[in-house]
Amino acid sequence: MNKTVNKLSAKQVENALIKYMNISYGVKYPSVKEEDGEFTLKFKWKRKEFDQEEWDGILSYIKSMGFKLISENNHYEGNYDPEEPPEWVPTIKFNK
C-alpha cells in the first residue's frame, strides 16, 4: 500500500480530485468525507450520470492514488419534489 495514502485527509483527496478533473466549481464538484478510515465521494450537484469514460477515469485516478474501491455507483435519481435534494447522486466509497 502507498504510505502517502495513510496521511491524506478528506480535504486533500478532494483537492487532488478537483485538480485531476480540472474544475473549480460547478455540477461536477466533488465532496469527500471520511469516517473510520473510509472515504465517501459524492457529486452532490451532478444532476445526471457521468459518461462511462469520465467515470472510469475517476475510478482509475482514485486507485492510482493507492486507495481500494469499496463500492461505486454512477447513478442519479432526482427527488419528486424539485425543491428537495436528489434521492441519489454518483457516489464512490474507498479506503486506505
Residues 68-91 pLDDT 10s: 999 999 998 877 887 877 788 899
**What are the tens digits of pLDDT across the range 12-49?**
999 999 999 998 777 788 999 999 989 999 998 888 89
28 backbone dihedrals φ, ψ, rounded to 5°: -90, 5
Domain count for the chain, please give it: 1
Q: pTM of the entire structure?
A: 0.82
Predicted confidence at residue 40, as pLDDT, reads 96
CA distance 65 to 47: 27
Domain that holds residue 13: 3-95
Give the model's pLDDT for residue 69: 97
Q: What is the predicted pLDDT for the residue at 1?
A: 47
Give the residue carrying C-alpha cell 452532490. 44
